[in-house]
Amino acid sequence: MANVLFFFVAFVVLLFLDPHVEGSRLSLTHVDSAAQLTSAERFRRAARRSHSRRQAFEGKWSSPSTVVAVVDYAGDTEYVIDFGIGSPVLPATAILDTGSDLIWTQCVPCLDCLSQPSPYYDPSKSYTFSPVPCSSPFCSNRSLTDIGCGGDRCLYLASYGDGTESTGFLGTETFIFGDGSSIAGVTFGCGFQNNGSLSNSTGIVGMGRGPLSLPSQLNPRKFSYCLTPLDSSAASHLFLGSTASLGGNRGALIGSTPLISSPLTYFSTFYYLSLLGISLGGTRLPIPESVFQLKHDGSGGTIIDSGTFLTLLNQAGYDILREEIIKQVRKPAAELPEVIQDLGIDLCFSFHGASSLPPMPELVFHFQGADMRFPRDKYMAYHDELGLLCSVIVGTQSFSFSIFGNYQQQDMHILFDLEANVLSFVPANCNQL
């Protein structure tokens, strides 16, 4: 009887909830946090995921006209979030991805599903679930309706660069976050046929710029995150709505730069930044602005991505940076063992047996309106078992755009204001937020 009363009260409360969350704080868990791994192993696994993700990007940019379904990149990514879905509430753990839009979870009836840590969501058992009909505006997106409609339900096919796929139908549901915040009427995918990799999660939460992403379905449309270092045991955090504020970082200088959009709708998911140039040790590098510029045909540009570990720079710009690092360190680059070459990293210095690492020049990314400053440990990583200090910035020979990865975003509070089209950032101790 008590349970019945509880669910009745919950239902009444949900009826009066605003369909958009006013503010919420969620914990982010790194995909390798539960594994017993050394710091070096964590680094290598994350770097390999970066290259899987890079290959997915390469496929999208090289042949966009041949893609007939949603092609995103979340299978090989870095962070997952815990939340609840439905009424009664079912726990879910989903991959967080700023490079994709669709929110989806594995659903009953599971014709073909991946293993996950909690029961599969069953829409027939939730009194707050509603199917999205084919007449819905969300079904006007051709990439979500390539397999047509059935029973007046909007069907979708989502495929990801690592081979992960999900087939299902769209619905609306109530999402409940760990701090008790509820969002009613969220449009999401109910996947009944799924394969590939979900990093032991139940689905994917798209944080991109498309209409089906979580930020696009919130009011106000803003969010922020603060990522703890890779080897930290503390959780990272995602802030939605009114809780997304940098005001608590007292004494630190907040930088802001415009978020720009691709001229091609096909690439509208991504958060582009205007990277104008790079300095090292006070020396502005002779990199033409056009190297990082977003072109009129949609090529080039620089995106910020939470799901890519390494920073991937247009090769022309990276080659100049690499040469300058070697020049200012005044030490020859080390011969790379195969385990490092496999990560795509091509610049390391040997400090095997050294009692301490030497200081290195400050690296600065010059964005339109703001500079991001990085000390040595934000662009170099030490592999103690190899005695190598290696760059976490690599070149991209096979495509022209650049990706600002999450290693350099660690211990930085980053705010996406999608109404003002501005990205703001400030150095922070993310484990203390």
Confidence band for 398, pLDDT divided at 50, 70 and 90: low
Supply angle C-alpha 194, 304, 196, rounded to 5: 15
Answer whether 19-55+66-240 and 248-432 agree in fold. Answer: yes
Model pLDDT, residue 54? 66
Model pLDDT, residue 3? 40
Residue 122 falls in the annotated catalytic set: no
User: Of 72, 76, 82, 97, which is the active-site residue?
Assistant: 97
The rounded mean pLDDT for the chain is 83
Contact 206, 97 (CB under 8 A): yes
- More confident call, 238 vs 180: 238
Q: Which residues contact 391 (CB under 8 A, 6 or more apart)?
A: 322, 325, 345, 346, 347, 348, 379, 380
Q: Which residues contact 410 (CB under 8 A, 6 or more apart)?
A: 227, 228, 229, 230, 378, 430
**CATH architecture, range 19-55+66-240:** Beta Barrel (2.40)
User: Of 305, 371, 411, 417, which is the active-site residue?
Assistant: 305
How far apart CA 256 and CA 222 sit, in angstroms, is 14
Q: Name the percent of the chain lying above pLDDT 90.
A: 47
pLDDT surpasses 90 at 122:
yes
Class of domain 248-432: mainly beta
pLDDT surpasses 90 at 8:
no
Rounded to an integer, the average pLDDT of 404-409 is 93
How far apart CA 224 and CA 246 sit, in angstroms, is 9
Q: Give the start-to-end residue ranges of the domains of the chain.
A: 19-55+66-240, 248-432
pLDDT surpasses 50 at 354:
yes
Residue 377 falls in the annotated catalytic set: no
